[in-house]
Amino acid sequence: NAGVTQTPKFRILKIGQSMTLQCTQDMNHNYMYWYRQDPGMGLKLIYYSVGAGITDKGEVPNGYNVSRSTTEDFPLRLELAAPSQTSVYFCASSSQTTSVRTDTQYFGPGTRLTVL
């Protein structure tokens, strides 16, 4: 299994441009998450999904959109990029199949985004 894969690894955007960060997992996990991590800071939850077709906002959703059309993919869309969105973005997934939560999140390698 490849686990959680993210593309691209690096990207530089100009202010006002748009882009989609891709995230794919091959573990058949029903839960997927997007986080951002600024230097010296913890992870901030942007959006999450509990299954295909279901998404919900996290702590910092403004300026982002997501969709979950399949179990495997959870792309993150940035519209009208701003310098404040310069960060490292991590995608994660977990499996919750029973009433007992295990909550182990598996993270991807991250996408380093710079907005100039």
Partner 1 sequence: SQKIEQNSEALNIQEGKTATLTCNYTNYSPAYLQWYRQDPGRGPVFLLLIRENEKEKRKERLKVTFDTTLKQSLFHITASQPADSATYLCALVGSGTYKYIFGTGTRLKVLA
Question: Are 96 and 31 within 8 A, CB to CB?
Answer: yes
- CA–CA dist 101, 113 (Å, integer): 33
In the complex, the smallest distance separating the C-beta of residue 46 from partner 1, rounded to whole angstroms, is 11
Q: Does the footprint of partner 1 cover residue 23 (CB under 8 A)?
A: no
Peptide bond into 83 cis (omega under 30): no
Nearer to partner 1, 9 or 14 (CB): 9
Looking only at residues 37 through 56 of this chain, which bind partner 1 when binding is defined by CB under 8 A?
A: 40-45, 48, 50
Nearer to partner 1, 54 or 80 (CB): 54
Residue numbers of the site for partner 1 (CB under 8 A)?
A: 4, 31, 33, 35, 40-45, 48, 50, 58-59, 90, 92, 101-110
